[in-house]
A and B are shown apart, each in its own frame.
Chain A
Amino acid sequence: MDNTFVEFRDLRKSYGALEVLHGINLAIGKHAFVVLVGPSGCGKSTLLRMIAGLEAITAGTISIDGRVVNRIHAKDRGIAMVFQSYALYPHMTVRENLSFSLEMAKTPKDVMVARIERAAGILHLDPLLDRFPAQLSGGQRQRVAMGRALVREPALFLFDEPLSNLDAKLRVEMRAEIKALHQRLQSTTIYVTHDQVEAMTMADLVVVMNDGRIEQSGRPLELYDHPATLFVAEFLGSPAMNLLRGTVVSRSPEKAVDVGGGILLPLPEDASVTAGQDVVYGMRPEHLAIGKPGQGIGAKVSLVEPAGWETHLHAEGGGHIFRVISTKRLDVVPGDPVSLVPDAGRVHLFDAASGLRI
């Protein structure tokens, strides 16, 4: 049975002659938590605003629950949106903020009270109901914004970078709260962020966008382990993947990649490359091990970042900077020689010209 709840078909958006979304196709299942992630200007917020009905659709269709909503007003799309700036009504108390949409929909008083009580209970807003937004902290405002979405009991939740204005600690807390809320309510959610950690930790389905196109979509670890393009490989993961440009050389009995500086890197046995092909050789920092002296790539430590549960190293060798993550507590200081051994089985290869995974 088709589980699709939201669907984009060849969706395009132009401002005059400038096209910012170039034919988006995507199907989102019911109850899914989808994160649209990408750098600033990639079109993710525009896409969200088009779903919400705040931006006109230039071409293509958006369907929600089997109904094309292109010409349907925002209020009738069955959606609720949480904005980056919370967009609370500053002259209304929290209770009035929560009840506004219900008043507009002429909801019966008893239903309104019940919904507000429920949302306040879920989001711990009871003691704040008679306060004004100006009297709340950032986290509390965020919760009110979510409450305002919740009371509408929407079929689809839209979040536009809702955690960007919070400090690091609160962001982690709210991240968990939003995820827990989704697990509890099971409502389909589309969440926009430029933070890949948020994308990885919250999503059932991550959609990586770049320059108005979907680069890749899939489950978070699927994207992390098998990035389809160089962009996705570079964008997901912190510290970022080590990407070295090189040429495939035949080194009997197997092939290797010459990345310059006298460094030859091993290729997986099943790599379908030909000698002389220009490639980009990718290694996640956690897939570079510290080996015995003389083994692997000879490099010199240039930076040590002990994070407690793991250590991040920057090492320089053959004109390249290598980022390494070790779960061991390493006893090294800048200037120390190290040998870096790539895990050949977990190497990512991309075609240098097209940027596509080989």
Chain B
Amino acid sequence: MTIISRTEPQPSAGVVEFIGSLRFRAGRFVLIGIPLVILVIWTTVPIVWAVLASLKEPLEIYQSNTLLPSNPSLDAYREVLSMPGFRGWLWNSVLVTVVATIVPLTISILAAYGFARYAFRFRHLLLLLYLVPRIIPRVSLIVPLNNLMTDLGLVNTYWVLFITYTASAIPLATWILVGFFGSIPKEIEESATIDGANMWNRLRRVMIPIAWPGVVTAGVLCIREAWNEFAFVLALVNETGMRTLPYQLYMLKDSMGVQDYAVYNAFTVLTVLPLLIVYLLLERRVVDSIVSGAVK
């Protein structure tokens, strides 16, 4: 007698593997893909909206509900670039940003190296106190700062911007760099000591290059802080020629609100553009530093 056993058809191993792989991909998309898509939309929509609005006719924004300009034009950009003070405001922004990046970065590298590598009294307390300027609301600093700077005769000078921007950037940069310097194995620095490097050479030739991603990160944040700074410049500068781009952007609004949205958005795009270029250029360098600097 022949016994025939009936079993349900089983999927082959290949099919099971395929389904498993589909599930894995779906799970990965839900966990990583969707949040990323939301984040990209969240960050790019305002910029895209500003770019599109800058290309519209002056009154089109009130008349049309469509996002895309019906008749794209660069007139708003021409108008911004031909504003009599634009070059001066751009120069002011560039100058204070360069100074308020290089100076805090230099001070922060030295301070962070000290905090990360040397044991001294009240080290942790001092590091904590470093954060105080970031914890106190900026607005609350404006009146005392204004009084102080007026007494010093610095209001309406570049110095007032250099000093306040630098002071505001140092804590953040130092905290970032303490973490990076602290994560470098001590043995590498000891090895450099035996190799004959003094403290300056150890910092310049060994520590900074290894912590380069951190230096670039801190630098980018200093640039961003300085470029976008608004409260200090508003409070401590009142001459038209001393304004920075964010200040002038604010001044485009009058008591009736924004008069020409296209010009306003073109000004916004031109204000943001240099920062975007810096981000794109330095992001590549940060990645390169991480790849070539891997310890293990």
Contact = CB atoms under 8 A, between A and B. Distances in A.
Interface of A: 52-54, 74-75, 79-81, 83-85, 87-91, 100-101, 104-105, 132-134, 148, 152
Interface in B102-152: none
A180 to B, nearest CB: 24
Given A85-B185, A87-B190, A89-B206, A134 B294 contact: yes
Interface stretch (B35-43, B48-56, B193-201, B238-246): B193-201
Interface in B201-215: 201, 205-206, 209-210, 212
Candidate in B191, B210, B292 with the most chain A CB atoms within 10 angstroms: B191
Contacts of B206: 89
B194 A79 contact: yes
B296 A54 contact: no
Contacts of A74: 193-194
A89 B294 contact: no
Contacts of B292: 90-91, 132, 134
A91 B185 CA distance: 14
B295 interface: yes
Given A90-B210, A90-B293, A75 B205 contact: no
Given A75-B196, A104-B201, A134-B294, 15 more contacts: A54-B194, A75-B197, A80-B194, A81-B190, A83-B191, A84-B187, A85-B187, A89-B188, A89-B191, A89-B192, A89-B210, A90-B188, A90-B295, A91-B212, A100-B192
Contacts of A132: 292
Q: Chain B, interface size: which category?
A: 20 to 34
Contacts of A81: 190-191, 194
A171 B291 CA distance: 28
Contacts of A101: 194-196
Given A132-B292, A133-B295, A87 B187 contact: yes
A305 B295 CA distance: 40
B196 A54 contact: no
Nearest to B209: A91
A305 B135 CA distance: 66
The SS class assigned to the B binding surface is helix
A53 B206 CA distance: 19
B190 A75 contact: no
B296 A75 contact: no
A134 B192 contact: no
B212 A134 contact: no
Interface of B: 185, 187-188, 190-197, 201, 205-206, 209-210, 212, 292-296
A100 B195 CA distance: 7
Contact of A134 (B196, B201, B295): B295
A335 B210 CA distance: 60
Contacts of B194: 52-54, 74-75, 79-81, 101
B185 A75 contact: no
B210 A54 contact: no
Nearest to A145: B191
A89 B295 CA distance: 8
A45 to B, nearest CB: 11
Contacts of A85: 185, 187
Nearest to A104: B196
Contact of A54 (B190, B205, B294): B190
A134 B291 CA distance: 9
A148 B191 CA distance: 10
Contact of B195 (A90, A104, A134): A104
Contacts of B195: 75, 100-101, 104, 148, 152
Nearest to B187: A87
A87 B296 CA distance: 10
A75 B192 CA distance: 9
A89 B202 CA distance: 11
B1 to A, nearest CB: 49
Contacts of A88: 188, 191
Contacts of A53: 193-194
Nearest to B193: A74
Nearest to B190: A54
23 contacts: A52-B190, A74-B194, A80-B194, A81-B191, A83-B190, A85-B185, A87-B187, A87-B191, A88-B188, A89-B192, A89-B206, A90-B188, A90-B292, A90-B293, A90-B294, A91-B210, A91-B292, A91-B293, A101-B195, A104-B195, A132-B292, A134-B292, A148-B195
Nearest to A93: B292
A231 B294 CA distance: 42
A87 B190 CA distance: 8
Nearest to A83: B187
B193 A87 contact: no
Given A81-B191, A134-B294, A104 B185 contact: no
Nearest to B289: A91
A100 B201 CA distance: 11
Contact of A104 (B187, B197, B212, B296): B197
A331 B205 CA distance: 64
A93 to B, nearest CB: 10
B192 to A, nearest CB: 7
Candidate in A52, A79, A89 with the most chain B CB atoms within 10 angstroms: A89
A293 B192 CA distance: 65
